[in-house]
Chains A and B, each alone.
Chain A
């Protein structure tokens, strides 16, 4: 997993498997941390499974939550001196948060967030994605639920619509993180 966009793809898959109809994604630069948070309203996990998900060697095959994905994200955040947290309630949903120290030499770059989101929306158009980017410079928000309402009759997975969304997200990334993160020029 060489960048955050690939982790986003991976963690979002857990939400999809958990039957989520709404996924909220936050990427924020605050107080020296790059924060990546993903919340869903999926089936959630009970305490017993929750305690195991960060252990790569305990895999409950019936729940796809357990495996390599979460441990890899945790490791990646902690390598920078940051932290990782996962909260879940059975029947309510799960929130996963990784905090990376922004200036750490070990921090992985954001990567193609727009490409990941495009793929997620395209393959699971029935899910509403709330996307939020935030830094001291700007805030970007997109809610695919309201885009779908606006489209009224046209599918959000229409090629041209998806292209529009992808470009909009790319612009948002540049507005919010351009010149703030060293991998995105201002």
Chain B
């Protein structure tokens, strides 16, 4: 059973880490989560982003969601927006591709060109 004592331990650990962390200049991953995205499998994609970032202990990335981006046929779609404002739009994603984007783009800083909207269209 998950207990409050466990949550307390997590809290204390996290408080120690917060002081070490620099919160400025976060990269954002925005996953399209409207009806079209959800039906195409956006939720497992978002989850894969979160889990992979967690597994690799990447702290400077926020994963969030938005509504319909307008290209429903290309869902699931995710935007990666780096602190300098550069936006990369990835389309027709699945959890495997999301994990690759975490490693290649978010950690190593090389966008995965073959998954981008420019390649799909």
- Minimum distance in angstroms from B95 CB to a CB of chain A: 12
Specify which of A17, A72, A155, A159 is in contact with B54 (CB 8 Å cutoff).
A159
Q: Is A80 an interface residue (CB 8 A)?
A: no
Q: Is A52 an interface residue (CB 8 A)?
A: no
Chain B, Cβ-Cβ closest to A12: B33
Chain B, Cβ-Cβ closest to A6: B38
Q: Is B10 an interface residue (CB 8 A)?
A: yes
Give the bracket for the number of chain B residues in contact with chain A. Answer: 20 to 34
Chain B, Cβ-Cβ closest to A155: B14
- CB proximity to B under 8 Å, residues A151-185: 151-155, 158-164, 167-168, 171
Q: How far is the CA of A8 from the CA of B72 in the complex (A)?
A: 20
Interface contact A122-B63, CB-CB below 8 Å: yes
Q: A123-B64, A159-B54, A164-B6 are contacts. A171–B1 as well, Cβ < 8 Å?
A: yes
Interface contact A160-B39, CB-CB below 8 Å: no
Q: A151-B11, A153-B15 are contacts. A164–B2 as well, Cβ < 8 Å?
A: yes
Q: How far is the CA of A154 from the CA of B11 in the complex (A)?
A: 6
Main secondary structure of the interface of A (DSSP, over half): helix
Binds A, one of B43-51, B83-91, B105-113: B43-51
A-B pairs under 8 A by CB, number: 89
Q: How far is the CA of A115 from the CA of B65 in the complex (A)?
A: 14
**Mask of B20-44 contacts with A, CB within 8 angstroms, 1/0:** 0000000000010111101100011
Q: Is A118 an interface residue (CB 8 A)?
A: yes
Q: A9-B38, A9-B43, A119-B43 are contacts. A158–B10 as well, Cβ < 8 Å?
A: yes
Specify which of A17, A119, A124, A154 is in contact with B67 (CB 8 Å cutoff).
A17
- CB proximity to A under 8 Å, residues B49-99: 50, 53-54, 63-65, 67-68
Q: How far is the CA of A152 from the CA of B18 in the complex (A)?
A: 13
- CB proximity to B under 8 Å, residues A30-70: 64, 67-69
Q: Is A144 an interface residue (CB 8 A)?
A: no
Interface contact A161-B38, CB-CB below 8 Å: no
Residues of A whose CB lies within 8 Å of any CB of B are 1, 6, 9-10, 13, 17, 64, 67-69, 72, 112, 115-116, 118-119, 122-124, 147, 150-155, 158-164, 167-168, 171
